[in-house]
Amino acid sequence: MTVSTADRQLISAEAGPPSPASQKRRGWRVLAVTSIGLLLMAVAVLAVARRVPDFYRERTSALGAPTPAVEQAARRLVSDVSALHAAFIREGAWEAAFTEDDINAWLAVDLPRNHRRLLPDILSEPRVRLSPRQVQGGVRIGRGVFSLVAVVAAEVELRDPNQLGITVVEARIGSLRLPYGLILGEIRQRFDRLGMVTSIRRLDGRSVLVVYIPSTHESGGMTHWLESLAITDGGLAVAGHTRPGRPPLMATSSSP
């Protein structure tokens, strides 16, 4: 038996509009489905953001406790930096080499112990990885189960004496990618606060931060030139010269 169009219209008219209770139940179902969808999306995003890079996991687990070997490595970095500074302020050639292991030992031991204010309270456990022409750094944001790991990698080269070129090649929290331009701007601000002249250029289709290192010390009398920078697997080496600069201007008094 078939139902005609007129019969269907009659049945629909007799049924009338949905009751308020029916509309309310439908609204709750839509809200529940939407909430579940948003919750699943948030869980998926959190799972992606909580991914910890292998290099960071390896370097934090290896330096979990301040063993005598780690303490010695941290002290060795301090000694090497002190020796470089002593040579840097004297006339003549200077050079220094640092290992990734010593740097990470200092970050794990000396930084939180003696230089806690260098990092905001929300950041902890910074670590680095050195590879040819590249520096990769990771840091933990937050505490405990709510913490995430942010990673930034940059190519660093000496373009000319006292002129660095920095290009961000990776920036993410977990597996979530961060805008490279934003990270490069943050790095630029750090150098600007140190009194260095910076500019961002577009070279070979990439944004490059160019940092001009001042050659003359505030006290005058000497100029310092960084002439070599080598970043290799697990190591970093620098070399340069300190040369006599122009003598400071002497005030002259005129006779009465």
Reduced to 3 states, what is the DSSP secondary structure of residue 95? strand
Contacts of 129 (CB under 8 A, 6+ apart): 55, 59, 100, 135, 136, 137, 138
Strand partners, 216: 223
If phi over 0 gives left and psi between -120 and 50 gives alpha, with beta otherwise, what is residue 3? Answer: beta
Confirm whether 42 is domain-assigned. no
Look up the domain containing 224 and give its range.
54-244
78: part of which helix (H) or strand (E)? helix 68-88
Confirm whether 16 is domain-assigned. no
Reduced to 3 states, what is the DSSP secondary structure of residue 251? coil
- CA–centroid distance for 60 within its chain: 16
Structure tokens at 202: 């577009």
Residue 256 clears pLDDT 70, i.e. is over it: no
Confirm whether 45 is domain-assigned. no
Confirm whether 188 is domain-assigned. yes
Q: How far apart are CA 136 and CA 36, in angstroms?
A: 38
Using alpha carbons, select from 180, 181, 214 the residue that is nearest to residue 196. Answer: 214
- Convert the pLDDT of each residue in 191-231 to its tens digit: 999 889 999 999 888 999 999 998 876 555 789 999 999 99
Reduced to 3 states, what is the DSSP secondary structure of residue 246? coil
> pTM for the whole thing?
0.75
* Total domain count, the chain: 1
Q: How far apart are CA 81 and CA 238, in angstroms?
A: 11
Spatial contact of 106 and 71, defined as CB atoms under 8 Å apart: no
Give me the amino acid identity at 71: E
pLDDT at 32: 56
Rg for the chain (alpha carbons), in Å?
30
Confirm whether 201 is domain-assigned. yes
Spatial contact of 203 and 56, defined as CB atoms under 8 Å apart: no
If phi over 0 gives left and psi between -120 and 50 gives alpha, with beta otherwise, what is residue 42? Answer: alpha
- Convert the pLDDT of each residue in 102-149 to its tens digit: 999 999 999 999 998 888 888 999 999 999 999 999 999 887 767 889
Contacts of 179 (CB under 8 A, 6+ apart): 171
Confirm whether 25 is domain-assigned. no
Confirm whether 127 is domain-assigned. yes
- Convert the pLDDT of each residue in 13-24 to its tens digit: 445 556 666 655
Spatial contact of 149 and 140, defined as CB atoms under 8 Å apart: yes
- Convert the pLDDT of each residue in 81-95 to its tens digit: 999 999 998 999 999
Name the band, by pLDDT with cuts 50, 70 and 90, for residue 66: confident
Spatial contact of 139 and 150, defined as CB atoms under 8 Å apart: yes
